[in-house]
């Protein structure tokens, strides 16, 4: 029996969200429910599939799962607007 090892990421480091479901995200609502987003960061590009839900801190938590978002938990990402005033868009921290 084999298992897929999740891609390595740098925990606590923001990754730029490049798209959600193939589109540029415009609001945090884009990340709620079953979703697939792509991120770009220090360890390259990553596809993240899972379920997102609003949190009270103005962010969305995306619970990444293996098998295209339907399997076991892999990690949790916190998605929020990019804090850098020179950048628009969103960042995800795993």
DSSP string, the chain: ---PPPPP--TT-EEEEEEETTB---SGGGGSEEEEEEEEETTEEEEEEEEEEE-TTS-EEEEEEHHHHTSSEEEEEEEEE-S-TT--SEEEE-
Per-residue pLDDT band for 16 (boundaries 50, 70, 90) equals: very high
Quick one: pLDDT band at residue 5, thresholds 50, 70, 90?
Answer: low
User: Rounded to whole angstroms, how far apart are CA atoms 64 and 11?
Assistant: 14
Confidence of residue 3 (pLDDT cuts 50, 70, 90): low
What pLDDT score was predicted for residue 12? Answer: 95
Q: Where are the domains of the chain?
A: 14-93
Render pLDDT for 34-89 as a digit per residue (tens, 0 to 9). 999 999 999 999 999 999 999 988 899 999 998 766 778 889 999 999 999 898 89
Taking residues 5-25, report their average pLDDT.
92
Residue 7, pLDDT score: 79
């Amino acid at each position: 029996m084999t298992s897929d090892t999740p891609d390595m990421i740098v925990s606590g480091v923001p990754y730029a969200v490049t798209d959600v479901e193939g589109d540029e995200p415009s609001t945090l609502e884009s990340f709620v429910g079953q979703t697939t987003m792509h991120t770009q960061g220090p360890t390259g590009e990553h596809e993240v599939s899972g379920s997102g839900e609003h949190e009270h801190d103005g962010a969305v938590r995306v619970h990444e799962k293996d098998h295209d978002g339907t399997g076991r938990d892999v990690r949790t990402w916190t998605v929020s607007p990019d804090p850098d005033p020179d950048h628009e868009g969103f960042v995800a921290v795993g």
